Amino acid sequence: MASASHAPTPLLKDELDIVIPTIRNLDFLEMWRPFFQPYHLIIVQDGDPSKIIRVPEGFDYELYNRNDINRMLGPKASCISFKDSACRCFGYMVSKKKYIYTIDDDCFVAKDPLGKDINALEQHIKNLLSPSTPFFFNTLYDPYRVGADFVRGYPFSLREGVPTAVSHGLWLNIPDYDAPTQLVKPLERNTRYVDAILTIPKGTLFPMCGMNLAFDRELIGPAMYFGLMGDGQPIGRYDDMWAGWCTKVITDHLGLGVKTGLPYIWHSKASNPFVNLKKEYNGIFWQEELIPFFQSVSLPKEATTVQKCYLELAKQVRAKLGKVDGYFNKLADSMVTWIEAWDELNPPKGGVPTANGPPKK
Ligand SMILES: O=c1ccn([C@@H]2O[C@H](COP(=O)(O)OP(=O)(O)O[C@H]3O[C@@H](CO)[C@H](O)[C@H]3O)[C@@H](O)[C@H]2O)c(=O)[nH]1
Ligand SMILES: [Mn+2]
Distances (CA, A) of 200 to 166, 207, 289: 10, 11, 22
Ligand 1 pocket test: which of 85, 92, 213 has the largest number of ligand atoms within 8 Å of its C-beta?
85
According to the model, what pLDDT value does residue 361 have? 45
The 10s digit of each residue's pLDDT in 224-263 is 999 999 999 999 999 999 999 999 999 999 999 999 999 9
Q: Look at phi and psi of residue 237 and say left if phi exceeds 0, alpha if psi is from -120 to 50, else beta.
A: left
Tell me the ligand closest to 244's alpha carbon: 1
Q: Report how far ligand 1's centroid is from the alpha carbon of 104 (Å).
A: 6
What percent of the chain shows pLDDT beyond 90?
A: 93
According to the model, what pLDDT value does residue 10 have? 87
The 10s digit of each residue's pLDDT in 179-199 is 999 999 999 999 999 999 999
According to the model, what pLDDT value does residue 348 have? 81
Per-residue DSSP letters for 111-143? B-TTSPBP-HHHHHHHHHHS-B-TTS--TTS-T
Positions of E strands within 84-216: 99-103, 107-108, 164-173, 197-199, 212-216
Would you say residue 42 has pLDDT above 90?
A: yes
Other CB atoms within a 10 A radius of the CB of residue 271 amount to 14
Q: Report how far ligand 1's centroid is from the alpha carbon of 171 (Å).
A: 14
Kindly report the pTM of this predicted structure.
0.95
What percent of the chain shows pLDDT beyond 70?
A: 96
Would you say residue 5 has pLDDT above 70?
A: no
How far is 42 from 63, CA to CA, in rounded Å?
Answer: 6
Distances (CA, A) of 254 to 121, 296, 304, 343, 344: 25, 16, 7, 19, 23
Nearest CA to ligand 1 atom 24: 237
Tell me the ligand closest to 176's alpha carbon: 1
How far is 263 from 276, CA to CA, in rounded Å?
Answer: 26
Element (DSSP H or E) covering residue 20: strand 16-22
3-state secondary structure of 43: strand
Would you say residue 355 has pLDDT above 80?
A: no
- Cβ < 6 Å from ligand 1: which residues? 21-24, 46, 83-85, 87, 104-106, 176, 209-211, 237, 239-240, 271
Distances (CA, A) of 159 to 195, 346, 354: 22, 34, 43
The 10s digit of each residue's pLDDT in 299-330 is 999 999 999 999 999 999 999 999 999 999 99
Please give the number of the atom of ligand 1 that sits closest to the Cα of 46.
33
- Respond yes or no on whether the N-terminal peptide bond of residue 201 is cis (omega within 30° of 0): no
Q: Give residue limits of the domains in the chain.
A: 16-345
Please give the number of the atom of ligand 1 that sits closest to the Cα of 45.
33
The pairing of strands 60-64 and 212-216 is unpaired
Residue of 353 and 267 predicted with greater confidence? 267
**What does the DSSP 8-state code read for residue 272?**
P
CB contact at 8 A, 99 and 128: yes
Would you say residue 165 has pLDDT above 80?
A: yes
According to the model, what pLDDT value does residue 214 have? 99
Of 184, 244, 236, nearest to 209 by C-alpha is 244
According to the model, what pLDDT value does residue 354 have? 59
CB contact at 8 A, 134 and 226: no
Q: Report how far ligand 2's centroid is from the alpha carbon of 25 (Å).
A: 14
**CA dihedral sign of residues 69, 70, 76, 81:** positive
Q: Report how far ligand 2's centroid is from the alpha carbon of 49 (Å).
A: 21
CATH node for 16-345: 3.90.550
Ligand 1 pocket test: which of 64, 80, 104 has the largest number of ligand atoms within 8 Å of its C-beta?
104
CA torsion angle 157 163 165 168 (round to 10):
60
Q: Which amino acid is at 270?
A: A
CB contact at 8 A, 106 and 272: no
Q: Report how far ligand 1's centroid is from the alpha carbon of 168 (Å).
A: 16
ipTM: 0.97
The 10s digit of each residue's pLDDT in 262-276 is 999 999 999 999 999
Nearest CA to ligand 1 atom 7: 85
How far is 124 from 262, CA to CA, in rounded Å?
Answer: 8
Other CB atoms within a 10 A radius of the CB of residue 329 amount to 14
Tell me the ligand closest to 103's alpha carbon: 1
According to the model, what pLDDT value does residue 43 have? 98
Q: Report how far ligand 2's centroid is from the alpha carbon of 351 (Å).
A: 38
